[in-house]
Chains A and B, each alone.
Chain A
Amino acid sequence: MAHDEDTPARRLLIQLARLGDLVQSLPAFVSLATRYPHQSLDLLCPAVLADLARLFPEVRHVLKWNGTQWHTWAESFAGEFQPSCLREVERYLAELTPEPYSIAYVLNHHPRAILAGALLAAEVQGPNLHGPLNEELSPWAVYLRQVAHQRGSNRIHLSDTFCGLCGVNPPRTPPVFIPSTSDLSGDLAEVGTSAGQWVAVIVGAGDADRSIPIEVWSEWISLLLAHESPCGVVLIGSERDQHAALAIQDRLSPMIAGRVWDATGRTTLPQLATLLKRCHWAVGADTGPLHLAAAVGTCAIGLYFSRARVHETGPYGEGHWVWQADCASPAMWPIQASVKMIREPSTIPQQEPVAGWSLWQSHHDEWGAIFRRVDENDPVEDQRAAIWWQLSEQRRPLQGVR
């Protein structure tokens, strides 16, 4: 390997996907920082996520990937190649980093991320073994592809495969980052300040087929707030989730509406991190905010259906819960059971089975995250250790693109 911990090197982690992927890259980032404690480690991420990424522990410098600017350049060509445009690209890349990084760790199996790695660093470690034109995959990328196609008995979490791609082991303890105290405006400043259980309800999801129906949410919130004990609900989402949030509130009884705070579309990402940190629980589908909640140390309850699988993208850390549906579009939802988990946490081990769903709890060990079924009825053997050994033995020397 060209760069060990004794060689001064500038390292760059590249994650160009969405919020959820960025947050799930945190273990790899922390493991790299631990592995190379005296070397600088920077992060390249989409410009819109940069303010949040700056809050990550160990991050020295966050580089903003300006996808909009690239689109503008590409469109300005209008199909034509203009050498003059390359000068602007050159300037932009030089502003990102005047000197190439020694090594870039690419976490996305996407041509843009692979090309970005090749443009910004002398050597690249990531999905492709031999640069952008060669489709031969690294062992971990092959494994990820197999999981994507077959799913099957995989028990290695996406965050830990990111570690594998970077050539490091999962962190010994799940990383938690402490958001800076971001000012929360108006009524949101009240969140978490009074006694009782504060619950973040993550309203939307990136794709429509991964969104929990609004009638499920209104029933869930009504049930949670039906009891006398103090509870507050914070609706979490982006601007495009505001309609759904309003529709949920319309369905609630006026008696409980005063205990619901609507934060959809009202926060920056750092503010969202602060808001989630102030809550005791975060409930939602497999979304960026759910992973962010887990990353700031809030207990997450995931309702996983559609393409979401607990073992691959469950909330990272210890003590989180996931209700996994047996099918992509569940007809019934574990409303009562999941509300009971919040109201009576001590009864979780005695949870009654819910038809069409299974309940899983997150744990952490030397191989990273592992979800175990609460009823201990998991027929799959945990083979993570063997897979890690197998894939580590297959590791090959780093390859540059030049």
Chain B
Amino acid sequence: MNSFETNIARLTRRNSALAAVLRQREGGALEIVPARTGVMSARINGRWIHSAYDPIKEAQAWAEGQSYQDGETMVVFGVGLLYHVEALCARLPRTASIVVVAPDLNVVVDAAAARVWGDWMDRVSWAWGTTEAIGEQVAAAGQPLRLVTYAPAAAFYTDSHRAIETVLQRGVASKAGGQLSIAVVGPIYGGSLPIARYAVSALESLGHRVRWLDHSVHATSYHQLDLLKNSLHRVALQSKYAEMLSRITMAQLAEDPPDLVLSLAQSPLILPALEHLRRKKFLTAMWFVENYRHLTYWQQLAAGYDFWFVIQQESCISALKQAGAKDVRYLPMAADPSVHRPVDLTQAERDEYGSDVSFVGAGYANRREIFPRLLGHEWIFKLWGNEWGGAAGLTPVLQRNGARIDTDTCQKVFNASAVNLNLHSWGGAGFDPEGDFVNPRTFELAACGAFQLTDRRTLMPGLFTESEVATVSSPDDLPGEITRWLREPEGRVAMAAQARRRVLAEHTYPHRMRELLSQIGVASPDRIGSILRGTRQAGALASAAADAFPSVASTLGTFPSTQRVELKQLAAQIRSRGPMGTLSREDLMVLMLDEYRSETKDLV
């Protein structure tokens, strides 16, 4: 019997359905090549997916590098010749549950034909079939899940793996019942400041305990430094000021250590502070709501955060990874429907804020170059916003002498305009040739139920369809598109309504925050994941402690079952028995641990 038959016979005993399907497949996904050590190695499209020298040693090194906690299910992405799975089986206790995800069964056929599997294969479960089916099989294998990737083999199936991961994240999100303690670190000023506010509000609406470390309170004194004429002094002091705010943040975090530190772009946490937080086992994430090509300070911070969430895809993700970021994921912008909403306007407000065509925003170079083309037409064009100095030709349409427009006014303009222009900022002429991310205004306009005409963005199709948001490919087409849409009021209303429905269904900040937490939860099953699953709640903890530590279980039973209980609270509950309270040995151990816990905050 050849190795394929031997392996399929072994597999049949545990998973006859898979074995039967494998018999129908022809394989051929892998090119099997002997390694120097004599065992088989493999290539895909000329690229090695196992070592050309010693695949076994390489696999052992990979397995050694994987984290594992008792009770977890290891979900392996990347099949290849399964050397890494064999090494993982050897490293983990026999009770560990291991699931191999196989989006392409031809690879499994090749693996079965290349070498004979040992007893270790009897410990492996397979997840195969459609994306949904794989998700279900993985979920059925038991919680918590720890996803591990054997990158050389997984690299050829990234789309499939991403889809499967999304299914798993949805599973985490749908079961998320636990309350996290989250510190949101905001910027001193700038465009990410309102985003921080929306994120805080969204996280609270999801039931988490949120502390907003709001550095906008320092903006006035920070801007005083702008008055310094000596640029060397100014830059040096601004840097020192940011460092000081970083220390303040650390002190605030030390006082009430959160489960997750979520920074918004421009938050004043510097790399040494982030490294210190990591040493102290704080989990950190950054939502970088900026164009990574324009603001490049991420290069200095990439290695500092445990998780990066960005509004751009491949090029941005690979740039951050190259700079040292370990985990980078796409998380587009959103709207806050409690702020961005349809508004009933008075006639006076319609007169003031209304127009055929409007734009709200700052005077970036591309807008200065494009907007003069919109003058002298039959429509009324109103331009709102600041930083338009020197754009003399636009003065007749510039409202309020170029004053900064607050959020409330912005909503009124959006609601009162027939066509809201939404031109993403860019430093050159025309439309940004690399325009990829979709700006917050797109979501905000949609949430207001306002019609918008937007420059084309490569990431738009993943967020809105053409029947929800109108786009234009070239500045030359802009006047024609405006004319067209002004003549189609019913079409505008219908599109705006569809866009609003889409935002409410998929693109609010609670959606984004749920997605962010579920992604971190999947990647961090023993920390954020376990809290989201509710295994840190009093009821679950009491069950886990019942057999070995009945006294602690009894104390846990005094909390509401769904209340999240930390060591600190458990110790406080024990102490609350008062001076005459009796203590078990378990109680004493908890109190001792809490004594040491209270001294682990030396962050400053």
> A residues touching B (Cβ–Cβ < 8 Å)?
67, 70-71, 73-81, 83-87, 89-90, 93, 111-112, 115-116, 118-119, 130-136, 401-402
Q: How far is the CB of B380 from chain A (nearest CB, A)?
A: 58
Once the chains are docked, how many angstroms separate the CA of A77 from the CA of B259? 11
Asked if B592 CB lies within 8 Å of chain A CBs, one says: yes
Residues of B within 8 A of A116 (CB): 592
Residues of A within 8 A of B568 (CB): 79
Smallest Cβ-Cβ distance to B574: which chain A residue: A133
Once the chains are docked, how many angstroms separate the CA of A397 from the CA of B296? 71
Once the chains are docked, how many angstroms separate the CA of A90 from the CA of B589? 8
Residues of B within 8 A of A70 (CB): 592-593, 596
A80–B536 contact, CB under 8 A? yes
From B548, B567, B590, name the one whose CB has the most chain A CB atoms within 10 angstroms. Answer: B567
Q: How far is the CB of B530 from chain A (nearest CB, A)?
A: 8
Residues of B within 8 A of A131 (CB): 583
Asked if B148 CB lies within 8 Å of chain A CBs, one says: no
Q: Please report which residues of chain B, range 550-572, place their CB below 8 angstroms from some CB of chain A when the two chains form the complex.
A: 552, 565-568, 570
The verdict on A74 contacting B593 (CB below 8 Å), with A81-B541, A83-B544, A86-B549 known, is yes
Smallest Cβ-Cβ distance to B593: which chain A residue: A74
> B residues touching A (Cβ–Cβ < 8 Å)?
70, 181, 257, 259, 280-281, 527, 530-531, 536, 541, 544-545, 548-549, 552, 565-568, 570, 575, 577-586, 588-597, 599-600
Once the chains are docked, how many angstroms separate the CA of A115 from the CA of B585? 10
The number of residue pairs between A and B whose CB atoms lie closer than 8 Å in the complex comes to 109
Once the chains are docked, how many angstroms separate the CA of A15 from the CA of B580? 26
Once the chains are docked, how many angstroms separate the CA of A57 from the CA of B567? 41
Once the chains are docked, how many angstroms separate the CA of A70 from the CA of B593? 7
Smallest Cβ-Cβ distance to B280: which chain A residue: A75
The verdict on A86 contacting B581 (CB below 8 Å), with A70-B593, A70-B596, A80-B567 known, is no
B566–A112 contact, CB under 8 A? no
Residues of A within 8 A of B593 (CB): 70, 73-74, 77, 85, 89
Q: How far is the CB of B250 from chain A (nearest CB, A)?
A: 16
Q: Identify B552's interface contact among A86, A118, A134, A136, CB under 8 A.
A: A86
Residues of B within 8 A of A84 (CB): 70, 544
Once the chains are docked, how many angstroms separate the CA of A119 from the CA of B583? 10
Residues of B within 8 A of A130 (CB): 579-580
Residues of A within 8 A of B600 (CB): 71, 74-75
Once the chains are docked, how many angstroms separate the CA of A84 from the CA of B536? 13
Residues of A within 8 A of B599 (CB): 71, 74
A133–B577 contact, CB under 8 A? yes
Residues of B within 8 A of A74 (CB): 567, 593-594, 596-597, 599-600
Q: How far is the CB of A130 from chain B (nearest CB, A)?
A: 7
A81–B592 contact, CB under 8 A? no
Once the chains are docked, how many angstroms separate the CA of A116 from the CA of B585? 11
Residues of A within 8 A of B588 (CB): 115, 118-119, 132, 401
Once the chains are docked, how many angstroms separate the CA of A370 from the CA of B585? 41
A115–B595 contact, CB under 8 A? yes
The verdict on A134 contacting B257 (CB below 8 Å), with A70-B593, A74-B596, A79-B567 known, is no
Q: How far is the CB of B148 from chain A (nearest CB, A)?
A: 21
Residues of A within 8 A of B578 (CB): 133
Q: Identify B281's interface contact among A78, A89, A112, A401, CB under 8 A.
A: A78
B580–A134 contact, CB under 8 A? yes
B585–A119 contact, CB under 8 A? yes
Smallest Cβ-Cβ distance to B256: which chain A residue: A79
The verdict on A86 contacting B583 (CB below 8 Å), with A74-B597, A79-B566, A111-B595 known, is no
Residues of B within 8 A of A90 (CB): 589
Residues of A within 8 A of B566 (CB): 77, 79-81
Smallest Cβ-Cβ distance to A85: which chain B residue: B593
Residues of B within 8 A of A78 (CB): 259, 281, 527
Q: How far is the CB of A43 from chain B (nearest CB, A)?
A: 19
Residues of B within 8 A of A86 (CB): 545, 548-549, 552, 586, 589-590
Q: How far is the CB of B411 from chain A (nearest CB, A)?
A: 40
Once the chains are docked, how many angstroms separate the CA of A402 from the CA of B552? 15
Smallest Cβ-Cβ distance to B592: which chain A residue: A115
Residues of A within 8 A of B281 (CB): 75-76, 78
Which 9 A-B residue pairings sit nearest by Cβ, starting from the closest?
A74-B596, A83-B545, A134-B579, A74-B597, A81-B567, A70-B596, A115-B592, A89-B589, A119-B588
Pairs A–B under 8 Å by Cβ, sample size 14: A67-B596, A71-B599, A75-B280, A77-B593, A79-B568, A81-B590, A83-B544, A87-B548, A90-B589, A130-B579, A133-B579, A133-B581, A134-B579, A402-B583
B549–A83 contact, CB under 8 A? yes
Q: How far is the CB of A90 from chain B (nearest CB, A)?
A: 7
Smallest Cβ-Cβ distance to B566: which chain A residue: A79
Once the chains are docked, how many angstroms separate the CA of A77 from the CA of B566? 9
From A67, A81, A86, name the one whose CB has the most chain B CB atoms within 10 angstroms. Answer: A81
Q: How far is the CB of B23 from chain A (nearest CB, A)?
A: 43
Residues of B within 8 A of A402 (CB): 582-584
Q: How far is the CB of A46 from chain B (nearest CB, A)?
A: 13
Q: How far is the CB of A99 from chain B (nearest CB, A)?
A: 13
Residues of B within 8 A of A75 (CB): 280-281, 597, 600
Q: How far is the CB of A351 from chain B (nearest CB, A)?
A: 45
B565–A112 contact, CB under 8 A? no
Residues of A within 8 A of B565 (CB): 81
Q: How far is the CB of A340 from chain B (nearest CB, A)?
A: 45
Once the chains are docked, how many angstroms separate the CA of A232 from the CA of B548? 62
From A84, A133, A402, name the one whose CB has the most chain B CB atoms within 10 angstroms. Answer: A133
Residues of A within 8 A of B589 (CB): 86, 89-90, 93, 119
